[in-house]
Structure 1
Amino acid sequence: MSQLANAPEAKPWWKFGHVWMVVAGPAIVVVASFITLYLAISRPDPVTDENYYQKGLEINKTLGGTPSSAAPAMAARNHAATGVPKPVDAP
């Protein structure tokens, strides 16, 4: 009987600090998800121009690039993919 009289008083769960550490993590994630949702809704991405490919080709032409300027890169890519060396040009 004396052991029960000396036992500490049981406190409710919300009075323990460790419980709040466990609850705080998911609570922060929920708040952050609502902030992210607000930002996604209030600041939508601009629509990509439907003619983006043609505009990109025009930009390449103004910069002096032509499809043949990619030839060294294409040859290296093909060599890396197949292992076949580039034919040697005869003089």
Structure 2
Amino acid sequence: MSKFGELIDVEIPVLLDFYTEANDQSVAMHSVLRDVAASLGDKAKVIKIDVGKNKELAEALRVKGLPTLIIYKDGEMKWRHSGEQDANTLINIIQEYV
């Protein structure tokens, strides 16, 4: 868990994508997240977290539906959404925190 703290306690927004390869919506989000990361460059981070390999973290954050998208900035949760989102919507939301 201490690694998680280091990931989210940064000055730029961090978009976490909780996913599993067994979930079609999660897989569909991969290309969307690539577009978001490419568009924002070094203004934000996009991190994919496989819930199968990170069960403790997913449980601690009460991740139920997949994909679950969470934005952190300075170690604080700023936004959360379960389900798919399009790239433009995500970019606009992240830019509120840049």
Place the TM-score, normalised by the shorter chain, in its bin. Answer: under 0.3
Larger RCO of the pair (alpha carbons < 8 Å, separation 6+)? 2
TM-score scaled by length of structure 1: 0.21
Bigger share in helix: 1
Bigger share in strand: 2
Which structure is larger by alpha-carbon Rg, 1 or 2? 1
TM-score scaled by length of structure 2: 0.20
